[in-house]
Amino acid sequence: MGNQQSQDQTQAWWQSGVIYQIYPLTFSDGNGNGTGDISGIIRRLDYLNDGNLDSQTSLGIDAIWLSPVNDSPMIDNGYDISDYRNICPIFGTLAEFETLIAEAHQRGIRIIMDMVLNHSSNQHPWFIESSKSKDNDKSDWYIWQDPGYKDGLPNNWLSYFGGTGWTYCEAREQYYFHIFNKNQPDLNWRNPEVKAAIFDVLRYWLDKGIDGFRLDASSVYSKDQYFRDNPVKFGATDKNAYHNQHHLYDKDLPENHQIIREIRSLIDEYDDRVLIGETFIDSRLYDSTSFYGINNDELHLPFAFEFPFSPWYPGYLQREIQKKERITPEGAWPTYFLDNHDIPRHLSRWIECALCTNPQAIAKAAATLLLTMRGTPVLYYGQELGMVDFEDIPPEKLQDKAVTNSPSGEAPPNRDGARTPMQWDDSANAGFSFGKDVEPWLPVHPNYQEVNVEAAIADPDSVWHFYRSLIQSQKQSEALRQGRWRTLIHYPYEHMAYIRETDQERVLVMINFAYEQPFELDIPVERENWRVLVSNKTEAGKLIDLPETLQAFEINVLRKE
């Protein structure tokens, strides 16, 4: 493909490494109160990477992306920040966070902070001051408008969580805008004082040794200065009215790209840092690639949702890969993920899609795709175990208040099912609180006695060991880290086969998606002398000739000798 990175270009750590997302509330409880915290993460660092490539108990990831740990009233579980410069007491102290940075760095693990810059909590001192009157020092730090033409609202802009995006403030006799929950008022990025304050926050954390940021909702910083109505989509009938509009005036304006460029310029003042951004809801792949910038001067890694939302079908998945290969700008670098804190886990989506009763087989096939495509792979905690959504959490135990408190029938699905505690062992509550029988913040999935870290490490055929083998192979293969990608099948019906190659190395990846029957292997590549890197059918390290057929769900990652 024409836009692929030159193979002799020196790669940054965020291009050649594996990023692992942690949802701190449910990853590991270090102090025994049932809620995940920073001390719990520190105690689990060796599980993520103990610095030993040959370790049989360490996954071998290169960076941690932490969902927000800043001070917050937790209406949206940390995505509503009330103090950008401090750590929420739920997670621990600033000193503990500094210890986490130091301990992670000793193991070669980078730390990426989730930074919420589109909005703050309504309990942030900035908003408390801004909402008092129209003439205070921070009166213009948020987006305020007088009552308007329709039902008193300034315009037709909506909240992604359902209902209008405007909430009335009696003290000001005005409305403030919030693209999410009413407890999350949007900051006014047109105000230079706001921008300066945010940039000071970013420098504060960079000076503490943070290795980069993942920007939450990074495509909605700018809003139309004339507050024009969004056009309504013809015939649209989505239950969440947000999706029935063309969002021309409340997201992804040209000014938004200028903001990202300025943030990137700040990041570039520091050595070896990364800027990742969520290109937000209902974005098209074209939109997300625009966030690289005209001169690759915006996001290093823009997150787009087309690939994880693909059906479990090889033709569709390959189409998304090929599309991304075509439109990723020259010199830019793709990124892929399957799961995150906002969407159902991929096994829960794809098992139903494939009508398959073998989740381990799909988990290994999905892992192979994620870790052998050209781009930075991002894992979500527990993905390496084959964790699935807990779909029957009792209503009284749900914690996704931003959704549960939204207008009935319009809010997105509750996200707690994909946020349940990491399953460490088969003891009480999956060992989440280090042997203490304490009820966790969210209930543990009932399958934890079979699906857990301890059991997975003990089973050489587990999903965990398959992930670890793929990660090890990626670290040891120039082709898998930075090689070109090309498909060997124009339109795959039941299997995918593609090549990753540099001038020095060629790796062949073959995946049979069919779960009941073998599939004849007819691909234009020589059949002799391939070294097995990873396979669910053949021993690693073995020198083989290509088989005539791929067995049901057979996976092979092979290097040409």
User: pLDDT at position 403, please?
Assistant: 85
> What residue segments make up the domains of the chain, in order of their start?
17-116+304-406+413-471, 125-177, 483-560
424, 453 in Cβ contact below 8 A? yes
Give the tokens for residue 258.
Answer: 């200028």
* pTM (2 d.p.): 0.95
CATH classification for the domain delimited by 125-177, as one of 3.40.50.880, 1.10.645.10, 3.90.400.10, 3.90.1150.10: 3.90.400.10
Distance CA 176, CA 183 (A): 11
State the pLDDT confidence band at 1, using cuts at 50, 70 and 90: very low
User: pLDDT at position 6, please?
Assistant: 40
User: pLDDT at position 406, please?
Assistant: 76
> Which residue, among 20, 21, 42, 36, has the nearest Cα to 429 in the 3D structure?
36
Burial readout 79-102 (b: 16 or more C-beta within 10 A, e: otherwise): bbbbbbeebbebbbeeebbeebbe
Q: Per mean pLDDT, which range of 75-84, 128-137, 260-269, 410-419 is the poorest?
A: 410-419
Q: Per mean pLDDT, which range of 14-28, 212-226, 396-410, 543-557 is the poorest?
A: 396-410
Q: What pLDDT digit, counting tens, does each position of 428-481 carry?
A: 999 999 878 899 999 999 999 999 999 999 999 999 999 999 999 999 999 999
Q: Provide the percentage of residues in the chain whose pLDDT is more than 70.
A: 96
User: pLDDT at position 405, please?
Assistant: 79
User: pLDDT at position 5, please?
Assistant: 45
SS3 at position 534 = strand
Q: What pLDDT digit, counting tens, does each position of 53-92 carry?
A: 888 999 999 999 999 999 999 999 999 999 999 999 999 9
| Alpha-helical runs (H) found in 373-496 | 401-404, 453-458, 463-476, 478-482
Q: How far is CA 125 from CA 83, 172, 330, in A?
A: 8, 16, 43
Q: What pLDDT digit, counting tens, does each position of 235-269 carry?
A: 988 888 998 999 999 998 999 999 999 999 999 99
User: pLDDT at position 8, please?
Assistant: 43
How many Cβ atoms sit within 10 Å of the Cβ of residue 460? 11
Distance CA 299, CA 278 (A): 10
Distance CA 249, CA 231 (A): 9
pLDDT of 554 over the 60 cut? yes
pLDDT of 288 over the 90 cut? no
Query: How confident is the model over 282-303, as a mean pLDDT?
Result: 82
User: pLDDT at position 7, please?
Assistant: 42
Residue that has been written with the tokens 């509750």 in this structure: 414
Distance CA 218, CA 211 (A): 18
- Looking at domain 17-116+304-406+413-471, its CATH class is alpha beta
Is 262 noted as a catalytic residue in this protein? no
∠ Cα 358 19 73 (to 5°): 100
Domains 17-116+304-406+413-471 and 483-560 share a fold: no
**Which is catalytic among the residues 29, 80, 216, 400?**
216
**Which is catalytic among the residues 114, 278, 298, 325?**
278
User: pLDDT at position 230, please?
Assistant: 96
SS3 track for 245-305? ECCCCCCCCHHHHHHHHHHHHHHCCCCCCEEEEECCCCCCHHHHHHHHCCCCCCCCEEECC
Distance CA 456, CA 426 (A): 11
Distance CA 425, CA 435 (A): 10
Q: What pLDDT digit, counting tens, does each position of 330-341 carry?
A: 999 999 999 999
Mean pLDDT of the chain: 93
Query: How confident is the model over 389-417, as a mean pLDDT?
Result: 86
User: pLDDT at position 409, please?
Assistant: 63
User: pLDDT at position 279, please?
Assistant: 87
Distance CA 526, CA 542 (A): 17
**What distance lies between CA 36 and its chain's CA centroid?**
19
Rg over CA atoms, the chain: 24
Residue that has been written with the tokens 């959504």 in this structure: 389
Distance CA 19, CA 229 (A): 39
Distance CA 5, CA 294 (A): 16
Query: How confident is the model over 3-10, as a mean pLDDT?
Result: 51
Distance CA 459, CA 323 (A): 37
Q: What pLDDT digit, counting tens, does each position of 482-501 carry?
A: 999 999 999 888 899 999 99
User: pLDDT at position 12, please?
Assistant: 96
State the pLDDT confidence band at 2, using cuts at 50, 70 and 90: very low
Distance CA 559, CA 534 (A): 10
Q: Per mean pLDDT, which range of 117-121, 141-145, 189-193, 391-395 is the poorest?
A: 391-395
> Which residue, among 382, 388, 393, has the nearest Cα to 452 in the 3D structure?
382
pLDDT of 317 over the 60 cut? yes
> Which residue, among 113, 323, 77, has the nearest Cα to 206 in the 3D structure?
113
- Looking at domain 483-560, its CATH class is mainly beta
pLDDT of 408 over the 70 cut? no
Distance CA 436, CA 27 (A): 15
pLDDT of 527 over the 90 cut? yes
Is 503 noted as a catalytic residue in this protein? no
SS3 at position 381 = coil
pLDDT of 193 over the 60 cut? yes
pLDDT of 280 over the 80 cut? no
